[in-house]
Amino acid sequence: MIKENMEEASSAFAKHIGGLTVKKINDSNYEFYAEVKDINLNTSKIAHGGFICSIADTGMGNSAHKAIENKRCVTISLDVKFISAASLGEKLLGKVKIQKKTRTLVFATCEISNSKNIVATASGVWKIL
């Protein structure tokens, strides 16, 4: 993994769920990386849906924050579709696309995948504070 332009998500919550790294590709494309750890598993021993939602929200939110020159923003809408499972130890890649920025809102989509499959897709809206 290339470390250039990468930043750890710094919130206590991001650290609590196992950490997340965000990388700017260009002005409208970002990537984030997370690893499925034991604390992220449900009773079926696959990544909990709440973990997938959390990394989608955190990854897209950090991308929105970077896309608006580090202004504060908060999630006002998040839609997640679960497509396949993620297992312990898998490294997940989230590809974020900033679809539109207005004076007060940021619209983003993302696709989260492991080395074989798309795990989830998500879209959301962030309010610029």
Per-residue pLDDT reduced to its tens digit, 19-66: 888 999 999 999 999 999 999 999 999 999 999 999 999 999 999 999
Please, what is the Cα angle at 49 between 45 and 52, to 5 degrees? 105
* Domain boundaries, position 89: 6-128
29 forms beta bridges with: 26, 97
Confidence of residue 10 (pLDDT cuts 50, 70, 90): low
- pLDDT for residue 7 is more than 90: no
**What is the Cα Rg of the chain in Å?**
14
Structure tokens at 121: 């897709």
Per-residue pLDDT reduced to its tens digit, 96-112: 999 999 999 999 999 99
Is residue 31 assigned to a domain? yes
Is residue 63 assigned to a domain? yes
Is residue 99 assigned to a domain? yes
> Could you tell me the CATH number of the domain that includes residue 14?
3.10.129.10
Structure tokens at 55: 């990394």
Is residue 21 assigned to a domain? yes
Is residue 1 assigned to a domain? no
